[in-house]
């Protein structure tokens, strides 16, 4: 998957599913794919979601 130079690739979870997060701290955007690279979802993260993602690999809240 093509990414910006600032993108962090983080292995984690989303709704209990193993995923790859492509998080760009320059924009706050996060895109998630399954482990095969299939797009699942993406959006701009809140400060709380950024904290959870960068410390636990999940978006928190559940």
Q: Where are the domains of the chain?
A: 1-44
Q: Strands 29-34 and 39-44, how do they pair? A: antiparallel
Burial class (CB in 10 A: 0-12, 13-18, 19+), 54: middle
| Tens digits of residue pLDDT in 14-26 | 999 999 999 999 9
How confident is the model over 39-51, as a mean pLDDT?
97
pLDDT band at residue 62 under the 50/70/90 scheme: low
- 2-16, 22-36, 44-58: which has the minimum mean pLDDT? 2-16
pLDDT band at residue 3 under the 50/70/90 scheme: confident
pLDDT band at residue 4 under the 50/70/90 scheme: confident
Pick the closest to residue 23 from 40, 38, 3, 39 (CA basis): 3
Residue 53: partners with Cβ closer than 8 Å, 6 or more residues away: 10, 12, 21, 23, 30, 45, 59, 60
């Amino acid at each position: 998957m093509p990414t910006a130079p600032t993108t962090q690739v983080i292995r984690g979870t989303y709704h209990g599913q193993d995923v790859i997060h492509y998080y760009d701290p320059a924009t706050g955007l996060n895109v998630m794919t399954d482990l095969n690279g299939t797009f699942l979802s993406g959006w701009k993260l809140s400060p709380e979601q950024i904290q959870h993602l960068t410390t636990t690999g999940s978006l928190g809240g559940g």
